[in-house]
């Protein structure tokens, strides 16, 4: 397993070691002992799966502290462009984003820590996405930021007129108006 840094150091790309032969392939997507040895101390307690058609944008989602979630995202089938946005006040990278292509072919995963909003767009005909969370879903703490916020300026790799977005995600506030209780340098 290899961990690759991104332009925002807290966001990590995880590249598992894949074993292939004439039967197919095998890889370990998560091993707590291995992750801890690599400095990733999250204890994941909830697994989620979503199915999305081509052009679907989900996000940008986060939960307020003390219910904030770190996520480990991977694609079972298809291809997505996965995005994390720094929403930690006073962070030198506040409002900046990292985008990574995750697919069933590359088998990469994205580790998104607490203090970041998360979203993705489906690039293939459909995508099945799994993500582990280190905190349970809490509807009272559930928040979002508008996916097309010009202050953030995410390049979603598709025309936004082609995007399929839920009514809920379409009315999230922009970053400047969002309820955020994360501060840079604070452990959650």
pTM of the complete model beyond 0.85: yes
| CA–CA distance, 13 with 179 (Å, rounded to integer) | 28
| CA–CA distance, 7 with 93 (Å, rounded to integer) | 9
Q: Which residues are catalytic?
A: 61, 131
pLDDT digits (tens, 9 = 90+) for 77-99: 999 999 999 999 999 999 999 99
- pLDDT band for position 188 (50/70/90)? confident
- pLDDT band for position 21 (50/70/90)? very high
**Is residue 47 pLDDT above 80, yes or no?**
yes
Instruction: Give the whole-number percent of the chain exceeding pLDDT 90.
Output: 96
Q: Given 2.40.110.10, 3.30.70.60, 2.60.120.10, 3.30.530.20, which CATH number is that of 2-177?
A: 2.60.120.10
Distance, C-alpha 36 to centroid of its chain: 20
- pLDDT band for position 187 (50/70/90)? confident
Strand (E) or helix (H) holding 170: helix 167-170
Q: Please tell me the predicted confidence (pLDDT) of residue 83.
A: 99
Query: Would you tell me how many other CB atoms lie within 10 Å of the CB of residue 147?
Result: 25
Q: In this structure, are residues 58 and 117 in contact, taking their beta carbons and an 8 Å threshold?
A: no
Q: Please tell me the predicted confidence (pLDDT) of residue 185.
A: 84
Domain residue spans of the chain: 2-177
Mean pLDDT calculated for residue range 38-53:
96
pLDDT digits (tens, 9 = 90+) for 131-173: 999 999 999 999 999 999 999 999 999 999 999 999 999 999 9
How confident is the prediction for the chain on average, in pLDDT?
A: 97
Spatial CA neighbour of 27 closest among 126, 108, 123: 108
Mean pLDDT calculated for residue range 12-24:
96
Instruction: Give the whole-number percent of the chain exceeding pLDDT 70.
Output: 100
Spatial CA neighbour of 86 closest among 136, 151, 135, 132: 151
């Amino acid at each position: 397993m290899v961990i690759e840094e991104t332009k925002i150091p807290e966001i990590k790309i995880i590249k598992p070691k894949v074993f292939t032969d004439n039967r197919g392939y095998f890889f370990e997507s998560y091993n707590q002992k291995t992750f801890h040895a690599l400095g990733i101390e999250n204890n994941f307690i909830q697994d989620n799966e979503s199915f999305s058609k081509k052009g679907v944008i989900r996000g940008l989602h986060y939960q307020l502290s003390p219910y904030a979630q770190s996520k480990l995202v991977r694609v079972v089938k298809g291809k997505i462009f996965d995005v994390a946005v720094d929403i930690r006040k006073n962070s030198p990278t506040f409002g900046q984003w990292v985008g990574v292509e995750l697919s069933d072919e590359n088998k990469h995963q994205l580790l998104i820590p607490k203090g970041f909003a998360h979203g993705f767009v489906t690039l293939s005909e459909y995508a099945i996405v799994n993500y582990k969370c280190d905190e349970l879903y809490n509807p009272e703490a559930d928040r979002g930021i508008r996916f097309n916020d010009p202050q953030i300026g995410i390049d979603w790799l598709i025309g936004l007129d082609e995007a399929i977005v839920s009514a809920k995600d379409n009315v999230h506030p922009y970053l400047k108006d969002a309820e955020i209780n994360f501060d840079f340098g604070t452990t959650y």
